[in-house]
A = this chain, B = another copy of it.
């Protein structure tokens, strides 16, 4: 049975020491003292350990079932969901006006990471609800907010996002679901949506679907799309549940992983819905959900990897195999533990350096979102630039990391018994949903990079430059951190320049390098984050604040990332600079 323990020390280090939240004048931050964050994180860890971790394999094995139109979640999910609601976890960072606790996203995402690492499929029921909550909170009428938000904050009602149709996903301009306006101001929706996570289940009284559909008069493509609130049960004036809406589950998808989450085909057969936000401006409203959701998916990438890593470490310390090349370590045993072997270390260090760097990136991103919500435009611009990087890079690498963790187990990783296969299968979805990673790369190169005349990209480079300048003379930083960060950042600048120059003449020259650019950007960002982490650790050691081992481990892990991961930027740059010539050389028929 796999185990998982929340990295509370790391969360606190990032929040209090690296991001120094106590110095930030932001709503709710004053309440986040060390005692409070520890209490919240420990309570989340307890819920995760007691209820969610043991259900992870149950969910994988049982999956969800559809009987007579009703979706049943795996044994124990209902009890765990009730416990999550009772603990107030669903309301953590929601608006107090609707029953939320108004806690900053910075802390909320840490608890979400704990729940995700413990049981990704389970945590999605609440995760999707939060996305739908945000969309209604931002775009809903006062009446809509009053009707839906309190119940969604408590997760008595859960939420979904309905975008994809059988013939279209990324290209939503092609969608066919129709919304016919009615005299009473409502709409009747007809069409089929697929891949609807948490689409239906037995955990909540009602499911509030947010559905993209075309209402008359909106024109072609995405311009004609509006967003609708379509509840599973209609809501009476007094807030009680009324009749069943004409929305039903067509089938459950058989998937590679996240079996505990009900992925539904949803059929809308004249289902009654209400416009959310402006008519024909549905894409904008949907992106409110998507941007937040993308950072959440980025988190899933390394959260799953962390759970897998923790189990790989246990196995590597326990399993005896061979002898250390430098001399016997475990003379009392028949062999030394796996962890003595350099190639196992290489794998564990790759995982550890990625996971901790990924966590720091997402925590920083959550902090930027807190700033953005408080009106900080620079923070808003930066997180807008970093979101596709975080989503694409951390989910690609997160999946790779689970594969590495599985590999530590040898044959025992391939059988389902130890749960390593499940981490790999679960993590795989994060590269696909909320915009497949190719779409993240496209978003980055075609939209975010040139946005505002490249202002956000420039600001990012300036930030790194300033950091390097400030700490370039610090002996503790210069060689191990600043030098490789400078080199990697230069590769990124060269790549950005290449796109600027070539993209005008031939957009394919930029697009052919989009995947590599996203990864190059990801490495530079993690290199920067690791440099900040290690600067903080260095200061703490200088100041003699104790916990020496923790800070020295950070420094060693950071040095590993800088020396062994950052060299990838040169390869990405070389691939980018080869342009589209070889990528596009063949006619389609030649494949």
A selection of 12 A-B contacts at a CB cut-off of 8 Å is A171-B320, A253-B415, A255-B414, A325-B511, A341-B438, A342-B583, A406-B428, A411-B433, A411-B436, A413-B432, A556-B585, A564-B582
- Measured CB to CB, the closest approach of chain B to A276, in angstroms, equals 23
Q: Which 6 pairs from chain A and chain B are nearest by CB? A: A567-B574, A342-B511, A256-B421, A325-B507, A556-B585, A342-B512
Contact check, A343 vs B169: say whether CB atoms are below 8 A apart.
Answer: no
Q: Write the nearest CB–CB distance from A571 to chain B, whole angstroms.
A: 5
A574: chain B residues at CB < 8 Å are 567, 570
Q: How far is the CA of A590 from the CA of B551 in the complex (A)?
A: 11
Distance of A448 from chain B, by nearest CB (Å)? 15
Main secondary structure of the interface of A (DSSP, over half): helix
Q: Report the Cα distance A363→B345, complex, angstroms.
A: 34
Q: Which of A343, A424, A564 has the most C-beta atoms of chain B within 10 angstroms of its own C-beta?
A: A343
Q: Check A414–B429 contact: CB distance below 8 A.
A: yes
A319-351 CB mask vs B (1 if < 8 Å, else 0) is 011100110000000110101111111111100
CB distance from A64 to the nearest CB of B (A): 14
Find residues 536-560 in chain A having any chain B CB closer than 8 Å to their own CB: 549, 553, 556-557, 559-560
- Residues in B neighbouring A255, C-beta threshold 8 A: 414-416, 421
| Given contacts A410-B436, A415-B255, A586-B553, A515 and B563 within 8 Å (CB-CB) | no
Q: Is A192 an interface residue (CB 8 A)?
A: no
Q: Are B341 and A511 in contact (CB under 8 A)?
A: yes
Contact B342 A580 (CB under 8 A): yes
Nearest opposing residue in chain B for A563, CB measure: B578
Given known A-B contacts A335-B174, A413-B432, A567-B574, A343 and B442 have beta carbons under 8 A apart: yes
In the assembled complex, A437 has its CB within 8 A of some CB on chain B: yes
Q: How far is the CA of A256 from the CA of B340 in the complex (A)?
A: 28
Is there a chain B Cβ closer than 8 Å to A417's Cβ?
yes
* Chain A interface (Cβ < 8 Å from any Cβ of B): 164, 167-171, 173-174, 194-195, 253-257, 263, 313, 316-317, 320-322, 325-326, 334-335, 337, 339-349, 352, 399, 403, 406-407, 410-411, 413-417, 421, 424-425, 428-429, 431-433, 436-438, 441-442, 506-508, 511-512, 514-515, 549, 553, 556-557, 559-560, 563-564, 567-568, 570-571, 574-575, 578, 580, 582-586, 588, 590-591
**Copies of this chain per assembly:** 2
Asked whether, in the complex, the Cβ of B321 is within 8 Å of the Cβ of A170, the reply is: yes
Pairwise interchain contact A436-B407, C-beta atoms closer than 8 A = yes
- Per a CB cutoff under 8 Å, which of B256, B317, B438, B559 touches A582? B559
Question: Could you say which residues of chain B place their CB within 8 Å of the CB of A169?
Answer: 321, 410-411
Beyond A433-B411, A507-B326, is A588–B339 a contact (Cβ under 8 Å)?
yes
Bound Cα distance A341, B507 (Å): 11
Other than the given A169-B410, A342-B584, A343-B512, 8 more pairs (CB < 8 A) read A170-B410, A171-B335, A174-B320, A257-B414, A407-B436, A411-B432, A553-B586, A557-B586
* Residues on the B chain within 8 Å of A585, using CB: 556, 559-560
Checking B254, B340, B563, B582 against A416 with a beta-carbon cut-off of 8 angstroms, the contacting residue is: B254
Question: By CB atoms of chain B within 10 A, which of A326, A414, A570, A580 has the most?
Answer: A414
CB distance from A575 to the nearest CB of B (A): 5
State which of B164, B424, B514 has its C-beta within 8 Å of the C-beta of A343: B514
Residue pair A424, B414 in contact (C-beta under 8 Å): no
- List B contacts of A580 (CB < 8 A): 342
Q: Is the CB of B442 within 8 A of A414?
A: no
Cβ-closest chain B residue relative to A253: B415
- Give the shortest distance, in Å, between A563 (CB) and chain B (any CB): 4
A310 to nearest B CB, angstroms? 9
Residue from B171, B343, B428, B586 within 8 A of A515 (CB atoms)? B343
Of B171, B403, B407, B570, which is within 8 A of A321 by CB? B171
Separation of A22 and B167 alpha carbons in the complex (Å): 50
CB distance from A261 to the nearest CB of B (A): 12
Bound-state Cα–Cα, A331 to B296, Å: 38
Most buried by B among A167, A346, A507, A553: A346
Contact call A515/B582, Cβ cutoff below 8 A: no
Chain B, residue nearest A442 (CB)? B343
Which residues does chain B contribute within 8 Å of A415, judged by CB atoms?
195, 253-256, 263
Give the chain B neighbours of A564 by CB distance below 8 A.
575, 578, 582-583
